[in-house]
Amino acid sequence: MEAPRLAHTMNSPTSPCEEVIKNLSLEAIQLCDRDGNKSQDSGIAEMEELPVPHNIKISNITCDSFKISWDMDSKSKDRITHYFIDLNKKENKNSNKFKHKDVPTKLVAKAVPLPMTVRGHWFLSPRTEYTVAVQTASKQVDGDYVVSEWSEIIEFCTADYSKVHLTQLLEKAEVIAGRMLKLSVFYRNQHKEYFDYIREHHGNAMQPSVKDNSGSHGSPISGKLEGIFFSCNTEFNTGKPPQDSPYGRYRFEIAAEKLFNPNTNLYFGDFYCMYTAYHYVILVVAPLGSPGDEFCKQRLPQLNIKDNKFLTCDEEDGVMVYHHAQDVILEVIYTDPVDLSLGTVAEITGHQLMSLSTANAKKDPSCKTCNISVGR
């Protein structure tokens, strides 16, 4: 049986006896710190022997939930009425200490059969390391609590977004995608040195590299999927790629059909913004049966290449015709090497707009357009 959702508080884990937000039965309780310290007016009775949780096990981890269980001595086990859980984000020593710090979370649940599910998007974030410790407690007739000592502290990491979560993101992105415009090429901007290096060290073939951590924190492709980034957006008035780019003054252009055709699969990878009015959609184009295709099949929603809101290819009068969404900026990841001989490299005439770069860009967690109601 699944446990009730657990309430949480905004107090520090190191200050004695923090007040816990009301649980489902609307009973207000108070907690000690992990050392069992309590203040004189804490409302917790003198320590009596209750079994201390040990051998804690975490299982069934998702991006915003997990199951927890532990072993306990049988002595006084029948007196347990509640579990107190101290759940905190693991400290990141490299974090910016001047930024708002995530507030540690204290949880309380009525004693239920183990394993117990801990769920809640208001305190659990995807792909995030946490520490957890547990106390057992016995509520007395007068409302006071007898508590055990804290268990050992263990660590675990939440999971990436599942296909279900990515489908929610996909549906949000579809709302703002806008009408479809024609395109004819994919393009990739880099510095001249990049293309020189590809010719000299990789036999003229651009190689896939691991995607950075830009975009949604829970995206399953960040830091895992290997591919080559391409753009495909066009200017409304010319129908051609823009002359400005944040990534370098040299551009590789390749005919769309050489990368995207009926022999490739198309996947939705992410939807995000960077505190701006415009939004980005990441798509993955993978040749059928390739390692990238197998990776995406297990993790990403697949799109119909002829009928979707972002990027399509279809045959008209024997010719492949391509369209892209007007109102989002598309980032296309192609999962196989691409030989430079398949296209052309030339210098662009526009500016290098570094403000548009998405390298390791962080998603705006407050944007209602591109966030879903699970951990950020």
- The whole-angstrom separation of Cα 326 and Cα 330 is 9
Same domain, 205 and 350: yes
Q: Are residues 337 and 259 in the same domain?
A: yes
What pLDDT does 376 receive?
45
Mean pLDDT of 210-238: 91
Task: Please indicate, yes or no, if residue 321 is contained in any of the structural domains.
Answer: yes
pLDDT over 70 percentage in the chain: 79
Cβ burial of 36 (10 Å; 0-12, 13-18, 19+) is middle
Quote the mean pLDDT of the chain.
Answer: 81
3-state secondary structure 117-163: EEECCCCCCCCCEEEEEEEEEEECCCCCEEECCCCCCEEEECCCCCH
Q: State mean pLDDT over 341-358.
A: 75
In a domain, 362, yes or no: no
Q: What pLDDT is stored for residue 317 in this prediction?
A: 85
* One domain for residues 208 and 226: yes
Count the alpha carbons within 13 Å of 40 in the hemisphere toward its beta carbon: 0
Single pTM value for the model? 0.79
pLDDT above 80 (res 157): yes
Residues 197, 294 share a domain? yes
What pLDDT is stored for residue 60 in this prediction? 95
pLDDT at 357: 57
- Is the pLDDT at 348 greater than 50? The verdict is yes
Q: How confident is the model at residue 100 (pLDDT cuts 50, 70, 90)?
A: very low
Q: Do 237 and 149 reside in the same domain of the chain?
A: no
225 & 341 share domain: yes
In a domain, residue 49? The reply is no
Is residue 37, in this structure, part of any structural domain at all? no
| Residue 40 lies inside a defined structural domain of this protein | no
Whether residue 169 is found in the same domain as residue 309: yes
Q: What is the mean pLDDT of residues 214-237?
A: 91
> Domain ends where: 158, 180, 207?
158
List, for residues 67-96, the tens digit of each pLDDT value.
999 999 887 788 899 999 988 888 654 443
CATH code of the domain covering residue 107 = 2.60.40.10
Q: Is the pLDDT of residue 1 over 60?
A: no
pLDDT given at position 353: 56
Quick one: average pLDDT of 345-370? Answer: 75
Residues 288 and 180 in one domain: yes
The set of residues, in sequence order, having a beta carbon less than 8 Å from that of 15 and lying 6+ positions away, is 33
Domain count, the chain: 2
pLDDT at 29 over 60: no
pLDDT interval class at 103 (50, 70, 90): very low
CB 173 within 8 Å of CB 271: yes
Whether residues 143 and 224 fall in one domain: no
- Of 143, 158, 173, which residue constitutes the final position of a domain? 158
Residue 296 lies in a domain: yes
pLDDT in tens, 267-320: 999 999 988 888 999 999 999 999 999 999 999 999 999 999 999 999 888 889
- pLDDT tens digits, residue range 36-45? 444 333 444 4
Report if residue 253 sits inside a domain.
Answer: yes
* Closest alpha carbon to 104 in 82, 117, 85: 85
- pLDDT for 246 equals 77
The span from the CA of 341 to the CA of 361, in Å, is: 31
Please check whether residues 142 and 167 belong to one and the same domain: no
Q: Is the dihedral of CA 25, 26, 28, 34 positive or negative?
A: positive
What's the half-sphere exposure (Cβ side, CA atoms, 13 Å) at 103? 12
Domain shared by 232 and 126, yes or no: no
Higher pLDDT, 92 or 124: 124
Q: Is residue 99 part of a domain?
A: yes
pLDDT at residue 21 in the model: 30
pLDDT digits (tens, 9 = 90+) for 176-217: 999 999 999 999 999 999 999 999 999 999 999 999 988 898
- 164 Cβ partners below 8 Å, 6+ apart? none
Residue 164 has pLDDT above 80, yes or no: yes
Phi, psi of 99 (to 5 degrees): -80, 160
Assess whether 183 and 129 both reside in one domain. no
Cα(67)–Cα(341) distance, rounded to whole angstroms?
53
Count other C-beta atoms under 10 Å from residue 270's C-beta: 28
Full residue range of the structural domain in which residue 85 is found: 54-158
pLDDT band at 344 (very low <50, low <70, confident <90, very high): very high
